[in-house]
Amino acid sequence: MKIEGSVAVVTGANRGIGLAFAQALLARGAAKVYAGVRRPEDFTEPGLEPLRLDVTDHDQVAAAARAVPDATIVVNNAGIQAGPALLEGPLDGARRELEVNYLGTWAVSRAFAPVLAAGGGGALVNMLSVASWRSTERFPSYAASKAAQWSLTNALRVALRDQGTLVVGVHVGWVDTDATVRVDEPKTEPAEVAAQTMDAIARDESEVLVDDTARRVRAALSGPLDLLYPAL
């Protein structure tokens, strides 16, 4: 679909990958880009329109869909990593991950689905991860939330097909944001994630495998289990 002239909403757009998405949409000619943020009063990024949107607050989600009745691109980017390790620690963070990453994406998608339909279809982008496909002992609940979000993405692909909505899933390994400051591994720049996603929207492609890790893990899904989990 054409990004030029579109009206976009990006959740979690005040920093990290979300801000890169919002800036890329603007750079590619979107007519208006709403930055979904939890504290609009603190948001001063030029060219972007702040929109109060905590994705776990269902009143705010409904109000956001009412506030942007002409949205043609919606990006579910908001996400957290807050869960415990596999064999110890309280489960509260795991519940919060499901609330934001999975149920938040679901709530925003269903609120905006009729808006996108009214505009002729548009695009719904879900920011996923290689963790949608491969879990770890350190981040098992984050991976479970991303697997649930991927499953939801597939259901949305099928359900929104008839209304002409392109549903895009974005998968990547480590990205250089606040969320990964303690990770000492090669990382992709947020702008690269956004650029590849813009290209996918423009070409009507429904899956973005941003880096080698995403491409390798995706391919390993069809192989024996030890391709994904060499320790087995």
Ligand X SMILES: NC(=O)c1ccc[n+]([C@@H]2O[C@H](COP(=O)([O-])OP(=O)(O)OC[C@H]3O[C@@H](n4cnc5c(N)ncnc54)[C@H](OP(=O)(O)O)[C@@H]3O)[C@@H](O)[C@H]2O)c1
Query: Which residues, other chains included, contact 79 with Cβ-Cβ below 8 Å and sequence gap of 6+?
Result: 12, 100, 101, 127
Q: Tell me how far, at minimum, the Cβ of 188 lies from ligand X, in Å.
A: 8
Which position among 67, 118, 179, 191 is part of the footprint of ligand X (CB under 6 A)? Answer: 179
Which position among 127, 147, 148, 160 is part of the footprint of ligand X (CB under 6 A)? Answer: 127
Q: Measuring CA to CA, how many Å separate 199 from each of 63, 93, 170, 204, 226?
A: 30, 34, 12, 9, 33
**Residue whose structure tokens are 């989600």:** 61
Which position among 23, 135, 153, 177 is part of the footprint of ligand X (CB under 6 A)? Answer: 177
Of 4 and 40, CB closest to ligand X: 40
Q: Looking at residues 87 to 106 of the shown chain, list those that interact with ligand X (rule: CB under 6 A).
A: 100, 104
8 Å CB contact between 150 and 128: yes
How many chain residues touch ligand X (CB under 6 A)? 27
8 Å CB contact between 90 and 84: yes
Phi, psi of 135 (to 5 degrees): -95, 170
Q: Tell me how far, at minimum, the Cβ of 175 lies from ligand X, in Å.
A: 4
Q: Looking at residues 186 to 215 of the shown chain, list those that interact with ligand X (rule: CB under 6 A).
A: none
Which position among 6, 9, 10, 18 is part of the footprint of ligand X (CB under 6 A)? Answer: 18
Q: Does 79 bind ligand X (CB under 6 A)?
A: yes
Structure token digits, residue 176: 């250089």
Q: Does 83 bind ligand X (CB under 6 A)?
A: no
Of 12 and 119, CB closest to ligand X: 12
Q: Looking at residues 132 to 161 of the shown chain, list those that interact with ligand X (rule: CB under 6 A).
A: none
Of 24 and 175, CB closest to ligand X: 175
CA distance 129 to 143: 8
Q: Does 49 bind ligand X (CB under 6 A)?
A: no
Which position among 174, 195, 206, 220 is part of the footprint of ligand X (CB under 6 A)? Answer: 174
Structure token digits, residue 117: 């339909």
CB atoms within 10 A of CB 31: 14
**Burial classification of residue 215, based on how many CB atoms lie within 10 Å of its CB (0-12 exposed, 13-18 middle, 19 or more buried):** middle
Task: List residues near ligand X by CB under 6 A.
Answer: 11-12, 14-18, 38, 53-56, 77-80, 100, 104, 127, 129, 172, 174-175, 177-180
